[in-house]
Homo-oligomer: A and B are copies of this chain.
């Protein structure tokens, strides 16, 4: 369960109670700066912004959360009926809203739906394996919370590995499927790229790419480590 950002700090008692009863993990912040400073490493799982008391400040927090360079999805606005008109030109600042005073079950249902939406609508153009995340749209890679600086070929090779975990590929297969053409005698080129990938993955995760002696390389699936039957290699 990810952590919800809640504004203001402290939040209205009924809001806090509702979130607790519904089983949400949350953290209250008084302004956008604190929100940025206390952001968990996996990012906020959404936000509940209460505009009852200080709508201007609430909208300001929303604006900060929604800036395009680090946009937060899953922002729910809590406001009174008289504030409805203020939403008209601020459609981009929130994903859902709930009228205050609210029915606890309604808020819970909205938050659940919001988490469903952000989990499902989120851009599918990514692939992940354990700690490793590749974003195909941005050509970026992350291992844990550390961004990887990969060259084009390194990225393409890693992308192929991540999308085919567990399988063993010969150097010739990798050359034809990653490089995309038949190759003349340069099988060792793969070794060099694998080596550089291992180096950039770091000491910890270098084992993600395993050498299968006299066959080729395999990505992930470390459960089969050690002495396996040769039949598996022959069958692959």
Contact = CB atoms under 8 A, between A and B. Distances in A.
Interface of A: 2, 42-43, 45, 67-71, 73, 81, 84-85, 87-88, 91-92, 94-97, 99, 103, 105-106, 109-110, 112-113, 115-124, 126-131, 133, 135, 137-140, 142, 147, 151-152, 162, 165-168, 212-215, 218, 220-221, 223-233, 235-236
- Copies of this chain assembled into the complex: 2
A68 B128 contact: yes
Interface SS of A by simple majority? mixed
Contacts of A215: 139, 152
Contacts of A95: 117
A115 B69 contact: no
A172 to B, nearest CB: 16
A119 to B, nearest CB: 5
Contact of A128 (B123, B131, B235): B235
B84 A223 contact: no
